[in-house]
Structure 1
């Protein structure tokens, strides 16, 4: 914990925009955030003055699962008591299982709702995240509603408004975007807000 009473978080992420967003969300709960842009920097940071005072690590998953698992395992080997939370744009069960097997404390899916991030951090540092004893279904968040999706850019808010309007209509909806931008999360929000919400959402990977 930092000297002024704030809890200290290390975010492993190489995207400036995501760094600013997570730091702002964490600050709402009294956390100060330091950053590492890659695995090597993250490991080196553990030995610094700030690194010795860390309360938690938040790892924004990128690349192959094997690389992520290796980093998580290395972090836990060096600091066994330090919670490591994984954030990814892909909410698949396979990613969650691999992260947990490597030693992750919890698993979060983008886009991050502020209350979910803060609850996960608090649970991790208080020791209530229960690791492997917690059912995997609890580790993977339920579908987000439109009001829980975080983003302030005008184009993004406009796209959500269009999606919310489309959800109320009985029409086909096409969601386009680059890998990792949250298309599946928007699709889940459309489903949750639609007249079909009580029916199961079937996801087919056509890649």
Structure 2
């Protein structure tokens, strides 16, 4: 048993050391496409934000549930590209695109995009860009949710009471976990099955047949 555990540890560290973190042209192109497409969705989500917020106004702070609609680009890009900076890059591109189309938040959209992207990026970095399973995807979404919760409660809702901020904080992280983390992970698996991600490790991994469990000798 000790030998087996040691083997798994050695294999994992060797794979991490051998991973190529240099961006290819296809990485840049696909990350940019994800960012632009997400930016259009961000813009549309911004249009829907006011009426949706009104529906959630019965309980102060529940507006945080809508935050995830602006957080998925970074997580999705990070899960597909699997390179340092991918989550930040795609989230920033999405923020820039939505800002250029026109949002009510103007230049602040870019600031939020940078910090939201960093929230997801830091989580992926903590796992050395080597683990992209569901749990890590959920944590990356939660990290982006934490970033937007900190920004919104410190700036946008700074004058509101602690009760509002607490509810908003929790719901924003929950929204990031589900809308950005879970849905992005499912989207990657769905895209991989179509063969669209065959140039990426994320696509090849999803298409790889499951190995039968081996007996421990």
TM-score, length-normalised on structure 1? 0.26
TM-score, length-normalised on structure 2? 0.26
Structure with more contact order per residue of length (Cα contacts < 8 Å, sep ≥ 6): 2
Q: Which has the higher Rg, Structure 1 or Structure 2?
A: 2
More helix, by proportion: 2
More strand, by proportion: 1
